[in-house]
A and B are shown apart, each in its own frame.
Chain A
Amino acid sequence: MTGADIVLEALQREGVDRIFGYPGGANLPIYQQLPRYPKLEHVLVRHEQGAAHMADGYARAGGRPGVVFATSGPGALNTITGLCTAYMDSVPVVAITGQQNTNLVGRDAFQESDVIGCSMPVTKHNYMVKRVEDIARVIQEAFHIATTGRPGPVLIDICKDVQQASCEPVWSDGIDLPGYRPSFEPDLSKLEEAAAALARADRPVILAGHGVILSGGEEELISVAEKSVTPTGTTLLGVGAFPVRHPLALHMTGFMGTGWNLKAVQNADLLMMVGMRVDDRVTAKLSEWAPKVETFIHIDIDPSEMGKNVRPHLEVVADAKTALQAMLPHVSIEQPERRRSWLTQIDRWREEHPLKYVRSNGHLQPQDVMIEMYRRCDNEAIVVADVGQNQIWAALWWNYTKPGLFINSGGAGTMGFAFPAAIGAKMARPDKPVWCVAGEGGFVMTAQELSVAVKHRLDVKVVLLNNFSLGMVRQFQDDFYGGVRSEVDLSEMPDFVKLADAYGLPGICVQSVDQIKPAFDFAQRTAGPVLIDFRIDPNANVYPIVPLGRGLNDFWELPDEYA
């Protein structure tokens, strides 16, 4: 078998059915063999970054690793932003890149680049393959590493002559990686202690992150919250893990979180953090974060997260679902009446600090668009958001009464992520409606992938929140950088309806509130991709927001006179 055949055979053995890729000089041997593997459906992207984001969205929506092909040099380097996005959010992706011939590596040959060096900081692991005998083992290891423990991207760089060489592949039954111990049985005594602390606490809060979604632990989270009567919020990446219309829901935390969530975190006496990193966007100013907490409980699959940002009193290294499941039988509540007063207090905060937005200035408000979109999502659709104001509006107006999938680039904050990721998500879950929410700035960074949506007639609906500016940057400049509006004007943008037309999909433009519903009606009754260009209030802002450098207590809200 040639190396190229071994690559494709190995992918089939791993259960891969779809590859997002782009051919070029250094992976031509693989592409030559690809038509002989009809079970591997290839999606020809328009830029390799798109392939990486599609694989990422595919993995997040489908729960299976996404696979990327790219050629050497620029092809491989174009995947780096996408790999970093997957790495920051712990998403299993396997990227297979072509490399120059083994005897030319290191000689600055054509389209040669040090892809191993470049991808090292943004992958969980990477491999350079210089012997055909290694391909089978390396691919098996790569999938194992990508999908186990804390998931993440793995890159395999395969020299072109190795793809052309031949050998009889040896398929191993087991993985021999002595330095890799990805699974941890949760420490039961610690979980019992955690459950007891939760039962005793007067003002407990649970915060859930992406780990809950990655482990599929949403139901267990709800059970633990309900049985212990603990108010529960999520991080930005955890949105969807806990139903926001649940009476215990605190919705999103962090520096653009809801007021009642921030109040609860800042007044809690116990905080249980599940499947999250406790990063700077969650805590804002760390020294002022959760000041009244006496017991921090941290559950995460990655031992290095314990004490990285916040030193827990109780740490449990385990997969979130497994840990919550094991904890559940021990969960109870000691003083229901004291807990009732905590819940009453939170209800009061919810009333005092509701989500507010400008309703009366005659402009189309992004929140009105989100509210209508979520009404049509009907607790079922997958929503993929880009980065910036659109991302936070989409997160804050999330309204599901059961767990659901909200996909965004929370860690890396990669503009241009949403549309290709939505394509990947739709391919992984053709049964689910997929809505892509993006600003015009991020959307044009990867808009070339419209061709992919058209070619595959994918039912991805693009909700463009178009304010002709880099809205989040503009808001920061207005509020935190002395009001100097510097290089945020995007008034020179394509006519998105014509752009959609040029790519071969229907596009419509919405300028007023009364056009919102007809536009969504049109999008929903039209098969295949649709783009709606919502011309929103150019001054619409994200609220609440914590001023940069300040603690969560200092969050700003929209003044009542504008609401």
Chain B
Amino acid sequence: MSTPNGSVPDRLRVLTAVVEDHPGVLTRVSGMIRRRGFNIQSLSVGPTDEPGRSRLTLTVDAGHAEVDQVQKQLDRLIEVIEVEDLTEAPRLSRELALVKLAVTGPRRDRAVAEVDRFGGRLVDVGAATVIVEVSGEFERVECFLEALRPYEIVELARSGPVAMRSGTPAKQEVSQ
């Protein structure tokens, strides 16, 4: 698993990449990562504000390779337009977790109070279960889940982090 922002071990790299939105791009990225002996810890993909381009956020274990190889090998892929290694950069990262809890009656009230305390939200209420969500940096999501552990977690979905360099623009072109 990835670890909290700011204390990423050397071998784990956090990268973002803008890629062409073509069929097979993810295969190229994941195939290269496997081939080079790296390992994907988390990966999220979504559209950018520019049509035809997607943004990936990856947490990758560089394995036995030199850590800068992850970025360099990604950059070799023709359909990877730009890639940035944010591991050592000031960055903002957010992860979303959806948690289904089997709670009813007073236990449900206590669970919802706990969710409130962490700034989470109750997003679905069923007869025997509720679904709550939280977003935040890795550590916050971990604490949230820890707090909910006394209640019965029947299902958990985590997005993996999306990340962005904070403060100054990532690329000089951006400011032009």
For residue A178, which residue of chain B has the nearest CB? B81
Of residues 68 through 110 on chain B, the ones whose CB sits less than 8 Å from some CB of chain A are 68-69, 72-73, 75-82
Which listed residue, A121, A128, A308, touches B35 by the CB 8 Å rule?
A121
Q: Shortest distance in angstroms between B175's beta carbon and chain A's nearest beta carbon?
A: 19
For residue B18, which residue of chain A has the nearest CB? A179
A481-495 interface bits toward B, Cβ cutoff 8 Å, 1 = contact, 0 = none? 000000000000000
What band does the interface of chain B fall in when counting residues whose beta carbon is under 8 Å from A?
A: 20 to 34
For residue B17, which residue of chain A has the nearest CB? A179
Are A304 and B69 neighbours in the complex by a CB distance under 8 Å?
yes
- Complex Cα spacing A21 to B106, Å: 75
What band does the interface of chain A fall in when counting residues whose beta carbon is under 8 Å from B?
A: 10 to 19
- Interface pick from B4-12, B20-28, B156-164: B20-28
Q: Shortest distance in angstroms between B77's beta carbon and chain A's nearest beta carbon?
A: 7
A292-325 interface bits toward B, Cβ cutoff 8 Å, 1 = contact, 0 = none? 0000000000111011100100000000000000
- Complex Cα spacing A121 to B78, Å: 13
Are A308 and B69 neighbours in the complex by a CB distance under 8 Å?
yes
Q: Shortest distance in angstroms between A29's beta carbon and chain B's nearest beta carbon?
A: 23
Flag whether B31 is at the interface (Cβ < 8 A): yes
Are B72 and A125 neighbours in the complex by a CB distance under 8 Å?
no
Q: Shortest distance in angstroms between B104's beta carbon and chain A's nearest beta carbon?
A: 46
Flag whether A28 is at the interface (Cβ < 8 A): no
Which listed residue, A117, A178, A180, A307, touches B27 by the CB 8 Å rule?
A117
Given known contacts A304-B72, A304-B76, is B27 in contact with A120 (CB within 8 Å)? yes
Q: Shortest distance in angstroms between A290's beta carbon and chain B's nearest beta carbon?
A: 17
Are B19 and A179 neighbours in the complex by a CB distance under 8 Å?
yes
Are A177 and B66 neighbours in the complex by a CB distance under 8 Å?
no
Flag whether A145 is at the interface (Cβ < 8 A): yes
Flag whether A116 is at the interface (Cβ < 8 A): yes
Are A304 and B75 neighbours in the complex by a CB distance under 8 Å?
yes
- Complex Cα spacing A244 to B40, Å: 47
For residue A309, which residue of chain B has the nearest CB? B66
Of residues 23 through 43 on chain B, the ones whose CB sits less than 8 Å from some CB of chain A are 23-24, 27-28, 31, 35
Which residues from B are CB-within-8-Å of A121?
A: 31, 35
Instruction: List chain A positions with a Cβ less than 8 A from chain B.
Output: 116-117, 120-121, 124-125, 128, 145, 177-180, 302-304, 306-308, 311
Instruction: List chain B positions with a Cβ less than 8 A from chain A.
Output: 19-20, 23-24, 27-28, 31, 35, 65-66, 68-69, 72-73, 75-82
Instruction: Known pairs A121-B35, A145-B78, A303-B75; list 17 more (Cβ under 8 Å).
Output: A121-B31, A125-B78, A128-B24, A178-B20, A178-B81, A179-B77, A179-B78, A179-B79, A179-B82, A302-B76, A303-B72, A304-B72, A304-B75, A304-B76, A307-B69, A308-B65, A308-B69
**10 A-B pairs closest in CB distance:** A304-B72, A179-B81, A125-B78, A178-B81, A180-B78, A179-B80, A307-B66, A121-B35, A179-B79, A179-B78
